[in-house]
Structure 1
Amino acid sequence: MPDIIEASEAGSLEVLFDQIPSGCPGARPSFATIAPLTAVERVRAIVASWLGPQTRPVRLLLLDKSATANWALGWHQDRTVAVRTRREVAGFGAWTQKAGVPHVAPPIDVLQRMITARLHLDDIDEDNAPLLIAPGSHRMGLIRESAIDAAVATCGTAPCLADRGDVWLYSTPILHASARAAPGRRRRVIQIDFAAFDLPGGLEWTT
């Protein structure tokens, strides 16, 4: 989605990255920090055109590749969701804590009903660690670690290039990866997971 973030809005989004200590790859701020921002509401409305009017953000990540924090990620699926409190519910397991927030791996159909948005605050060319995706892999269900390489070979790969202000949307369980950014480059991304349904068994989204 090109030019979704207007130039006048980019500064308000960049301020979010001031909270990330030098050398840290990112942060998990509260939704209160982004809720008033017009650009975020614009993205939510776009996602709602697919998921429905109840669409809301359910997880927020700030990702900042720079000279002091640079990394690569191998091929993987995002397999967890953030919740308010831990509750034992059938089909939900592998509990973890991330930045003090409980995360749990849900059944794959939960992830398949979600959309992830990536808001870009820097130009993303081939040298600036674009997200790499395996097109169509989101339709393959939960992919075993031992089967990921074969799935990528079957689906092929594509880089998600972007200009500052662009937004990429993808099905949350798609296989994806990224390389390190080239020396001297910076790659700031606001990643937001969206859903338009409630979790079962008394589990609650963090919003």
Structure 2
Amino acid sequence: MIPELEINGFAVVENVFTSAEVEQLIAIIGQANKEKDTFRHSEDLFAIRQFLKEVPTTIPLVFTDKLNACLQQLFGEGYFPVKSIYFDKPGASNWFVSYHQDLTISVNQKADVAGYGPWTVKQQQYAVRPPLDLLEKNFTIRIHLDDTDEHNGALRVVPGSHRKGIYRPETIDWNTEKEVTCNVGKGGIMIMRPLLLHASSRTTNNRQRRVIHIEFSNQQLPAPLLWSEALS
């Protein structure tokens, strides 16, 4: 799996969570207070930003022995979660995301630090583009709480694009690049590098797609910056 992840920028591992574990996560998320500023609710999407902080009772259910063993085997010691989002794409959703790379990180404040910029802020959350080598070391896992395929918003990716630095979607040469759809079963995970070009389509089969997205790093930020979502 390690060669696949490094060459392609992504890998899928099925059956990391049992059906009972998935249902328990869904039940706890369903009880969360949806009126907070970090919750976004529309006809096309329900999302919880800073998910692990907003719904902390999910932490022991997310970081099971099986998941921890998988991540340690792949990446070794020293990695910790630095950002988390829950996505719920309803069955009738027309929401889609065009091709992009994940180029920003969430931090505690805005500061003049060499190599960090430009900056954005949303819902009192600062985001900044860090140096490229930091992004190259980070990774993301996506825990799938539903069977997901090309008909209900599975990610479409460009294999190997994570090894090409900043890759503008408008410059993709489809004569040389190829697109792969990352189908993942309920309870499976997708692992990906932030620089991997990825997109998702509208839902066409009226099936829900729920995903817990968690980003990891093994690096500390230069003072005075701190990871805004690092768990204490």
TM-score, normalised by the number of residues in structure 2:
0.80
Say yes or no: does 1:29 pair with 2:50: yes
Moved more, 165-174 or 41-50: 41-50
* Contact persistence 1:25–1:65 (CA under 8 A): yes
* Contact persistence 1:47–1:115 (CA under 8 A): no
Helix, strand or coil at the partner of 2:63:
helix
Please list the CA deviations of residues 77-123 of structure 1 after superposition, one character each: whole Å capped at 9, or x if unmatched.
Answer: 01100111222111111211233211101121111101110000111
Corresponding residue of 1:169: 191
Change (3 A) 1:145 1:128: closer
CA drift of 1:8 comes to 2.0
Say yes or no: does 1:200 pair with 2:212: no
Say yes or no: does 1:16 pair with 2:40: no
* Contact persistence 1:51–1:195 (CA under 8 A): no
How high is the sequence identity, in percent, across the aligned residues?
Answer: 32
Moved more, 15-24 or 155-164: 15-24
Please list the CA deviations of residues 21-77 of structure 1 after superposition, one character each: whole Å capped at 9, or x if unmatched.
Answer: 353441203423246323334434432333331111100011111146531111110
Helix, strand or coil at the partner of 1:36:
helix
* Contact persistence 2:152–2:206 (CA under 8 A): no
Corresponding residue of 1:61: 85
Corresponding residue of 2:4: none
* Contact persistence 2:97–2:201 (CA under 8 A): yes
Q: CA RMSD in A?
A: 2.1
* Contact persistence 1:129–1:179 (CA under 8 A): yes
* Contact persistence 2:51–2:86 (CA under 8 A): no
Aligned partners of 1:104, 1:81: CA distance in 2, in Å? 6
Number of residue pairs matched?
205
Corresponding residue of 1:107: 131
Change (3 A) 1:167 1:107: same
Structure 2: 5+ residue stretches without partners: 1-12
Helix, strand or coil at the partner of 1:31:
helix
* Contact persistence 2:134–2:219 (CA under 8 A): no
* Contact persistence 1:132–1:159 (CA under 8 A): yes
Structure 1: 5+ residue stretches without partners: none
Aligned partners of 2:61, 2:75: CA distance in 1, in Å? 20
Change (3 A) 1:87 1:30: farther
TM-score, normalised by the number of residues in structure 1:
0.88
Moved more, 155-164 or 6-15: 6-15
Query: What does 1:141-160 correspond to in 2, within 5 Å?
Result: 141-147=165-171, 149-150=172-173, 153-160=175-182
Helix, strand or coil at the partner of 2:142:
strand
Say yes or no: does 1:3 pair with 2:7: no
Q: What code does the residue aligned with 1:94 have?
A: P
